[in-house]
Structure 1
Amino acid sequence: MTDTPLAPAAPARLSGLARPGLLALAGLLATLVVLPVLIGDDFVYHVFITVCVFAALSTAWNIVGGFAGQLSLGHAIFYGIGAYAGVILTTLGISPWLGMFAGAAVAIVAAIAISYPCFRLRGPFFSLATIAFLEVFRVVALHFRDLTGGANGLMIPLKMGWQWMVFRERLPSLAIAFGLLLLCLAVAWWIRSRRIGFQLVATRERESAARAAGVNTVQVRLVAVAVSAALTAMVGTFHAMYLTFIEPAAMFSLTLSIQIAMFALIGGIGTVFGPLLGAVLLVPVSEMARGWLGAQALGLHGFVYGAVLVLVVLFMPNGLMGVLARLKDGGAKAKSPQAKAVAAAPAAAERPPMGDEIMRVEGLQKRFGGLHVTNDVGFTLREGEVLGLIGPNGAGKTTLFNMISGFMAPDAGSVSVRGADGGWHKPASPADFAAIGVGRTFQIVQPFAAMTVEENIMVGAFHRCGDVREARELARETAHRMGLAPWLEAEARSLTIGGLKRLEVARVMAMKPRILLLDEVMAGINQTDVRRAIDLMRSIRDDGVSIIAIEHVMQAVMSLSDRVIVLSSGQVIAEGRPQEVVRDPTVIEAYLGKEFVHAQA
């Protein structure tokens, strides 16, 4: 996930949008059309057309900037592409209705070409890269004077009528702008309420956890940026025809890019209707101030936007949608999962026998510079077996986990997993490991904080389910089994550390894994929760799932493990049954200490 300085609001609960909320939204949208018609003033028409245009642009930007968390400040690239495509084709006698789709196609190609390499960047560097590309497009538009008019710009041919999107009256322009706004809102709503929407938000929140859940994070972000660019270009085509004149400085403007991002931030970044609220709040104020004050108001809109932005950041970090959500909920916060008893997982009457080998790890080696983190590590895992992995801090346990789950490529050695077809495979990426049935948790829990418990588990369920309803049912079933059912609607950020660890296991189990990699899931939780976690792991094991567990809680290691491997300085120093390993002098010296052996005696 690309870290940004903007805190995304909690995602809208689209499926549970209350009736009063729907009525308020319908009323707001109707006002955008009805009010200017009732007033009948050309300037009021202009203000509301501008509101619709900027709300549509901000909604399109929010698909990539809000849902996917890619803070693009060069989005005017696609606006300018759409504007120039529409105007240039109009001068050739081609209707801007066709030019709109031509511009969208060019914008999609440009968006993918720009974004694919830039997705490797993190933090503010992605935003800076998009600004750099925006400047490149502006300079290119200035250079190709014969095509774009250069610094002198282009004036559209004044051909009136619906075919050319040019009208003497303002109402048809308002109708087109409003239609484009509805299109952008509909696309944003569709994306957020479907599988790709959950995956985009998961990618934004925790990219590594999303990859572990089988999400192709690059692919879903490319889809988001392509859709966003296409919608932005379509709005750009219409706006160019409405303005009747375009030039590079205005079409490829950094100010415009910042404005459309700011509307989403003020309204509620990452929500479906937040950008609309932001535009409705700010555009009329700035436009009317400029209309009433004329030249005296030069730059006033920048002051208005800046002042509102400062107030929002200080007092409404989640935007207007966040305020509305708090008013709806009455300020109530979800209770901690420790506030109520959690039912222990049911124990199986009899453990099924272990099966054949399901994973082979052979000769894994990994160096970081001159440090040999793992040195010729190898072992096997059988179906239904619990393999404990212990060792002192810095022994290379998490590095080993990263290599057997696809997050890190070994310098030498291999990992083979037997698939459901009975054949042996050598997966390479986290998606490959997830596809073959390997799921993992992380040493530092990685919840999708702004999503609910249910939505977190659904991200894992989407690995097996293509339909939202099916994924939701599987998520609820898994949550009930994991003792998380009372907190399905609570945001993950509200859970305690014990609840977060249980949630991470639930998300992985919703993937229906055949091999479960647990990285210190019992660290930092109390004894009661440790016992519950042990019972839960046993129930998972008894379902035939093989488990490899990195653990420092020796109570869990001794009671759960069929076999234990001890790592020290990147090497396997002991392997065998738990009771045998803990008495090995080498293990005692390297890890356990004599006090542990005396306590076991």
Structure 2
Amino acid sequence: MFPNLLHPRGYMGALALFALLAVPFALQSPFAFHLAVLVCVFGALATAWNIVGGFAGQLSLGHAVFYGIGSYAATLLVINFGITPWLGMFAGAVISAMAAIVIAYPTLRLRGPFFALATIAFLEVCRLLTVHEESWTGGSAGLNVPLNIGLQWMVFREKWAYLLIAFGFLLVTLWAAWLIRRSRFGFYLIAVREREDAARAVGVNAVKVKIGAAVISAVLTSLIGSFHAMYLTFIDPSAAFSLELSVQIAMFALIGGLGSVAGPLAGTVLVLPIAELARGWLSSFGSGTHGFVYGVVLVLVVLFIPRGLVGHLGGFVLRFIDRLPGARTPPPAPAKSIAPADALPLGTPLLVAEHLKKRFGGLVATDDVSLTLHAGEILGVIGPNGAGKTTVFNQLSGFIRPNEGIVKIRLADGTWAEPRTPDAFAKDGVGRTFQIAQPFAGLSVLENIMLGAFMHTGVRVEAESIARDVAQMTDLTSLLDTEARSLTVGGMKRLEVARALATRPRALLLDEVMAGLNPADIARAINMVRRIRDSGVAVLMIEHMMQATMALSDRIIVINAGRMLKEGKPSDVVNDPEVIQAYLGKGYLDAQAA
């Protein structure tokens, strides 16, 4: 639950954080205290934004709406009801959470710039509503916070008191971000950010996790907004619901390193003091200087360190810290088994497709296809290019809904389920790979496999243990600490299999796992598939490598023009005249006869 302060990473991080307190107390300057308060506030805001913008990859440019809700909620409760902001901030947080759900549910289904524009629109609507409801919000003139001095009202004469509270909010926000990043929820957010389809294939409900991230981020932003209103002692719509504020906190996260825990704070510490000092030194001649500083730093970062400070320098820092005494931790013990605990007896019908039909406009891609995968077998699906194999495959894993027919899978208790979505298929015991490998490039090989393991456990140590055992079966043990983007094609294909296998499926669907591999990798892949079958997992594979398909498959199904052409043992199928004609054309048979 909490970072290990006895580990070098823990105590070095704590020392860096408490330097934010030590410097202003050493200088004993009101401006130093003010600057430290701003760093804590904007560092916390950027960290909260990073949960949505960095971890989940959703560019929210209207995030100040939650800051404004928190500011106005706490201030209005103080003015109208005399309620302490310590309670008022939680009222604002509840309102912000509800607003986040209302905003996120329709908008998080959007992608790219459309989501960013939608968040800006919500921000502008809230600003205009605040301006026009003048009777209780003060309109464009704003509101003054009552100057009731004391801890109860969060108003003090000394700057250092504000700094202690701001630092507390920063610690809470960093702890929340650290906890999320190390949890199953955090892994799911990163998976959705990088490859949403691949995330759904390991049981991730993309919409739910993105809404969860939006709610957590909104609550933290609202709490910080309430405190900042008390610190400023004045709020108005143009500042509370400010597009500039949203862009500013997003920029701090981008400069520091999106998706990292320390990145947003690092970006704030780098840029904010320079901008504030420049504005203070230049006084009236420096109007807008802080914006110029932000722009210059942002351009330099994008040009020279596009992954941010932490993305480029974090590895060097961590390698240095990990050389300190006490940094090494033993790996977890291997899991006992990666096979499904509820494996069915051999030969039991496991995955059944009945009369599948799929039309894309006037094209009939699947025309009355029925098949059955039995427990403990390898079923090969072959056919010429454009035959409809991939369409059938996607229907068997929930990525395409058939127009007619059903797909059902037998559960451990013997009942049949008819899942409708990819994540539901995964949870019911169907794992799959993709024809074009889809690794989560920003994660290590170990973390990629852990994403699959998290479907059955929320404990990080247990997920890591399962991942290590899966890596051994898929020949990835020596590559566990390697970034997925650095793997060869063969390594990426095996990683896809490992990630699906870590979900402990009863049926594993392999989509051309040998395509593009060299002979050595093909031999390794054949042995891997056999080990998987021997572990108790049924395999359905689409493959164009005919020698491998014939060597591995217990049965083969041939699909041509969207229809079932032949089903039987490999030796029967390969010599069938209709199959030869489908692959090589009628002219080949005529030539043989001649």
Q: TM-score, normalised by structure 1?
A: 0.91
Shift of 1:465: 1.8
Q: Which amino acid aligns with 2:475?
A: G
Shift of 1:495: 0.4
Q: Which residue in the other structure is 1:522 paired with?
A: 514
Q: Are residue 568 (structure 1) and residue 560 (structure 2) matched?
A: yes
Stretch moving more, 314-323 or 232-241 = 314-323
Offset from partner CA, 1:389-418 (integer Å, 9 cap, x none): 111222211111111111111111001111
Distance 1:353 1:423, change over 3 A: closer
Q: Is the 8 A contact 1:361 1:414 kept in 2?
A: yes
Distance 1:596 1:428, change over 3 A: farther
Offset from partner CA, 1:266-294 (integer Å, 9 cap, x none): 11110001111100011111111112222
Q: Are residue 56 (structure 1) and residue 48 (structure 2) matched?
A: no
Q: Which residue in the other structure is 2:230 paired with?
A: 241
Q: Is the 8 A contact 1:518 1:549 kept in 2?
A: yes
| Alpha-carbon separation, structure 1, partners of 2:6 and 2:153 | 41
Distance 1:440 1:392, change over 3 A: same
| Alpha-carbon separation, structure 1, partners of 2:89 and 2:162 | 15
Q: Which amino acid aligns with 1:310?
A: V
Shift of 1:585: 2.1
Distance 1:598 1:65, change over 3 A: farther
Shift of 1:562: 1.4
Offset from partner CA, 1:181-215 (integer Å, 9 cap, x none): 00100111111111111111111111111111011
* SS of alignment partner, residue 163 of structure 1: helix
Q: Which residue in the other structure is 2:16 paired with?
A: 28
Q: Is the 8 A contact 1:583 1:597 kept in 2?
A: no
Paired residue for 1:223, among 212, 215, 218?
212
Paired residue for 1:509, among 501, 506, 530?
501
Q: Which residue in the other structure is 2:541 paired with?
A: 549
Q: Are residue 299 (structure 1) and residue 263 (structure 2) matched?
A: no
Q: Which residue in the other structure is 1:91 paired with?
A: 79
Distance 1:503 1:403, change over 3 A: same
Stretch moving more, 454-463 or 425-434 = 425-434
Q: Is the 8 A contact 1:582 1:597 kept in 2?
A: no
Shift of 1:327: 2.8
Shift of 1:354: 4.0
* SS of alignment partner, residue 373 of structure 1: strand
| Alpha-carbon separation, structure 1, partners of 2:544 and 2:513 | 10
Q: Which amino acid aligns with 1:44?
A: A
Q: Are residue 65 (structure 1) and residue 53 (structure 2) matched?
A: yes
Q: Is the 8 A contact 1:389 1:565 kept in 2?
A: yes
Matches within 5 A, 1:61-210: 61-92=49-80, 93-210=82-199
Stretch moving more, 72-81 or 192-201 = 192-201
| Alpha-carbon separation, structure 2, partners of 1:205 and 1:598 | 51
Q: Which residue in the other structure is 1:442 paired with?
A: 434
Q: Which residue in the other structure is 1:343 paired with?
A: none
Q: Which amino acid aligns with 1:448?
A: F
* SS of alignment partner, residue 516 of structure 1: strand
Q: Which residue in the other structure is 1:405 paired with?
A: 397
Q: TM-score, normalised by structure 2?
A: 0.92
Distance 1:18 1:504, change over 3 A: farther
Shift of 1:329: 7.5
Stretch moving more, 499-508 or 290-299 = 290-299
* SS of alignment partner, residue 153 of structure 2: coil
| Alpha-carbon separation, structure 1, partners of 2:315 and 2:99 | 40
Shift of 1:68: 1.0
| Alpha-carbon separation, structure 1, partners of 2:580 and 2:3 | 55
| Alpha-carbon separation, structure 2, partners of 1:210 and 1:323 | 26
Offset from partner CA, 1:158-203 (integer Å, 9 cap, x none): 1111111111111111111111000100111111111111111111
| Alpha-carbon separation, structure 1, partners of 2:523 and 2:3 | 37
Q: Which amino acid aligns with 2:98?
A: V
Distance 1:592 1:577, change over 3 A: farther
Matches within 5 A, 1:293-442: 293-328=282-317, 354-442=346-434
Stretch moving more, 491-500 or 543-552 = 543-552
Shift of 1:140: 1.1
Q: Which amino acid aligns with 1:81?
A: I
Shift of 1:573: 1.6
Distance 1:132 1:353, change over 3 A: closer
Matches within 5 A, 1:486-497: 486-497=478-489
Stretch moving more, 19-28 or 36-45 = 19-28
* SS of alignment partner, residue 68 of structure 2: helix
Q: Please, what is the CA RMSD of the aligned residues?
A: 2.1
* SS of alignment partner, residue 564 of structure 1: strand
Q: Is the 8 A contact 2:109 2:207 kept in 1?
A: no
| Alpha-carbon separation, structure 1, partners of 2:494 and 2:244 | 45
Stretch moving more, 178-187 or 284-293 = 284-293
Stretch moving more, 149-158 or 572-581 = 572-581
Q: Is the 8 A contact 1:58 1:264 kept in 2?
A: yes
| Alpha-carbon separation, structure 2, partners of 1:132 and 1:568 | 50
Offset from partner CA, 1:330-351 (integer Å, 9 cap, x none): 89xxxxxxxxxxxxxxxxxxxx
Q: Is the 8 A contact 2:5 2:11 kept in 1?
A: no
Q: Are residue 40 (structure 1) and residue 32 (structure 2) matched?
A: no
* SS of alignment partner, residue 167 of structure 1: coil
Q: Which amino acid aligns with 1:590?
A: A
Paired residue for 2:201, among 190, 199, 212?
212
Q: Which amino acid aligns with 2:40?
A: C
Shift of 1:15: 8.5
Runs of 4+ with deviation above 3 angstroms: 14-24, 328-331, 592-599
Gaps of 5+ in 1: 1-13, 332-351
**Identity level (%):** 58
Offset from partner CA, 1:107-148 (integer Å, 9 cap, x none): 010011101111111111111111111111111111111121
Distance 1:269 1:388, change over 3 A: same
Gaps of 5+ in 2: 321-343
Q: Is the 8 A contact 1:15 1:193 kept in 2?
A: no
Distance 1:244 1:390, change over 3 A: same
Paired residue for 1:457, among 435, 440, 449?
449
Distance 1:74 1:597, change over 3 A: farther
Q: Are residue 287 (structure 1) and residue 276 (structure 2) matched?
A: yes
Q: Is the 8 A contact 2:550 2:570 kept in 1?
A: yes
Q: Which amino acid aligns with 1:204?
A: R
| Alpha-carbon separation, structure 2, partners of 1:317 and 1:16 | 30
Shift of 1:596: 12
| Alpha-carbon separation, structure 1, partners of 2:588 and 2:345 | 34
Q: Which amino acid aligns with 1:213?
A: V
Count of matched residue positions in the alignment of Structure 1 and Structure 2: 566
Q: Is the 8 A contact 1:77 1:134 kept in 2?
A: yes
Paired residue for 2:259, among 270, 278, 288?
270
